[in-house]
Structure 1
Amino acid sequence: MVTRRTAEEPAYVLHRYDWSESSLILEVFTREHGRIALVAKGAKRPSSNFRPVLLPMQPLRVAFGGDAEIRTLKSAEWAGGQMMPTGEALLSGYHLNELLLRLLARDDPHPRLFDAYAEAVRVLGSGQGQAEPSLRDAMEPALRAFELILLREVGVLPALDSQTLTLAPLQPDGTYALLPEAGLIAVTPEEGRPWLSGGEWLALEQALADPAPFVATLRQAAHSMPGLKALLRPLLHYHCGVNTLRTRQLMIDLHHL
C-alpha cells in the first residue's frame, strides 16, 4: 500500500495541543487541502526542529503523509517575510483562527479563503493595510473583509444584491439589514436595527466577486464601519453555534481589567 505524501504545501497553524509528553496535535490550514490535523512527533523536545517553527499566524511550507484522519507532519519550514502580530492584532488573529476552526470542515479546500487569510494576517502583522495608513484603521476593515469572504466561501452568506426572501433588487438609497435566519431584508432606520444602504451592500457584493476579493472587500468595508461589524457579529455567532466567540470574550475581559 502506497502512503500519500504532500510536500511544499503552504500552511498556517491554527491551533496546537499536547498529544503526548513529546508530541503535538496541530490544526493546520493549508491552501490545497483545507483544514487538516497533523501530529508533530517530538515537537516538544528541546532539540526538535519544529519548536521554533510551529507558531500561529506564520506562513509555513509543510510536508505531511498518511491516510488516517490525523496525518503525520514530516517537515515544516518558515516561509519568511512576515512579523508576528502583537497586542490587539494578535487577539484579532486568534479571532480569525477560531472562525476557521468552527466553520471549516476538515479536508475541504478553499484556496481563495486561504489567500484572504494570508492577506489578513499580513495586515495584522505589518500594520499597513491596502486602504488605510494606520494599524487600527486597517485592522477592522481587514477583519470584516475576511469574515465576509469566509461566510461566502462556506455558503452561508446570501447574495448581497437582492432581498433574500423576495429576490427584489436592492435600491441604492434603501436601507437593509442582514439577519441570521432571514438574510437581507428591507428595514427603516426608525426600527433601531443596524443597517447598510443598498448602495453599500451592492458595492460589497461587487467586491466579493473581484479577482482580488480581499483587497477589494477591505476597501469597501472601510467605508461601511461600524454598521458592518454590528451586522456580521450575530451572523457569525449564529453559524458558529455560540452566543459569544471565545476570542471576543477574551477581548472583553481584557478591556475590563
Structure 2
Amino acid sequence: MRAFDRIQNLLTEKAELLARIRTIPFDGSIEVKTVKAEKYIYVRKREAGKYKSTYIDKYSDELYTLAVAQALQVREYKKRLRKIEKQLAELGYTEGELSPRVLLNIDFARANIKSLIYDQAVLEGIATTFPQTETILENGEVNGVKASDVQKILNLKRAWELIVDPNVIAAPCDYYLLSHIARLVNDGFSRDGGAIRSVPVSIGGSAYVPQIPVEYEVKQRISEIVNSTAKPINKA
C-alpha cells in the first residue's frame, strides 16, 4: 500500500475513534461515593492539569457495570490513537492548517448538528420528536423510542462526527471515504453497509426503477467530480 493510502486510512480510523469517544459519557475513572448511606457514581478525569469529578447518577449495578465497560473501551481507543499518531509521524505526516472559512463551516455544522440529524432521521422514517432526538444524542437513550431507532440516530451522530473532523476534511475525498461514512450510518442494520448496491430497488409512488450501479463507473465518476475544476458547492 502506498504511503498516501496508508496515511488516509490512518486518518479515517483516527477520526472514527475520536467520534466514538465523543459519544461515550464515561471517559475517565469510575468512582462510587457514599453520601448519607446513598451511593452515587462519578467520572474522575484530568482536565487542564487538574482532576475533576463529574456526577453521573445514583448507583445501580447495571449503570456501574456499563460505566466501567465503557471507560475501559475509551482507554483502548486512546491507546490505539497513540499508535496511530506514531504511525503517522513515521510516515512523515503533519497536520495542515485549515482555512478560517473552512473552520467557520465546521463550527456552523457542529452548531446545527442536532437539527441536521433530526431532519435526516425524519427522512429515514424514524418516529422521534426533536426533543427526543436531542436526548438520544446527549444520553444515548430515551423512553418511548424503539431501540433500533435510537441506534439509527446514534449511527448518524457517529457519521457526522467523522464528517466534521478536521483530519477527515483535510484528507482527499474519494469512494472509500464515502463508503466508510455509509457503513457507519448502516452499522448494525446492513451487513454490506457502505458497499455498492447489488440488488434492485423501487421508489414509492413511482414506476421508475433505478439501474443497479457498476462499482467501477461509480468510482470513476466520483474521481471525475473531485478532480474537476468546478466550484466546491457544485461538486457537492
* TM-score in terms of structure 2 length: 0.31
Q: Which has the larger radius of gyration?
A: 2
More helix as a share of residues: 2
More strand as a share of residues: 1
Higher relative contact order (CA 8 A, sep 6+): 2
